Amino acid sequence: MEILGNVPPDHGRAAPRARMAYEGVWRFTAPSLDSSVPRARHAVRDLLARQGVPAYGDLVPSLLLIVSELVTNAVRHAALLSPEIAVEVSIGPDWVRVAVEDNHPYRPKALEADQGQTGGRGLLLVQAITAEAGGAYDVAHTASGGKAVWAALPFTPPAAAAPAQVTNPHRAR
């Protein structure tokens, strides 16, 4: 799957490094059916476990929720033009990226759903999870004219903000 767009940065590593055993790219396809949502989620979970990905507390559940939302969107909104979807998992030295590709050219946008609606919040959820983890999210056109919606999460959570320096106003200067 050729994806045109940004990928997680390598943070300017100058010296070549040894490849970690868990690094690589895996791709699988599934029919654009509701039953593909849990299948994709389980396949990604099993891959991460098999590869021994160094994941912190919420990384795997967050990533699996993202996979569920992205595959659900592809199944619900692109099935007419894309009877099959592809899921690609890329694992780098310090991040994991999932992409869901379909043949529909429409680039989805996160919708502000009102309180009464039961759907329409999937991409908002993906964006929020990705931002909270310090990751990246985007939609990219593919060489075949479709799109790939992807999210990348770092293995380590974003650094906690340094505590504010509190000065004693009564201290002599």
Q: Is residue 2 part of a domain?
A: no
Structural domain of 54: 24-154
Q: Is residue 31 part of a domain?
A: yes
Q: Is residue 160 part of a domain?
A: no
Q: Is residue 12 part of a domain?
A: no
Which CATH number belongs to the domain containing residue 135 in this structure?
3.30.565.10
Q: Is residue 129 part of a domain?
A: yes
pLDDT in tens, 89-145: 999 999 999 999 999 887 777 656 555 555 567 889 999 999 999 999 999 999 989
What pLDDT, on a 0 to 100 scale, did the predictor assign at position 120?
61
Number of domains composing the chain: 1
What's the pTM? 0.78
Q: Is residue 59 part of a domain?
A: yes
* C-alpha torsion angle, residues 27, 47, 153, 121 (rounded to 10): 80
Q: Is residue 66 part of a domain?
A: yes
pLDDT in tens, 49-89: 999 998 888 999 999 999 999 999 999 988 888 999 999 99
Q: Which has more pLDDT, 167 or 27?
A: 27
Q: Is residue 7 part of a domain?
A: no
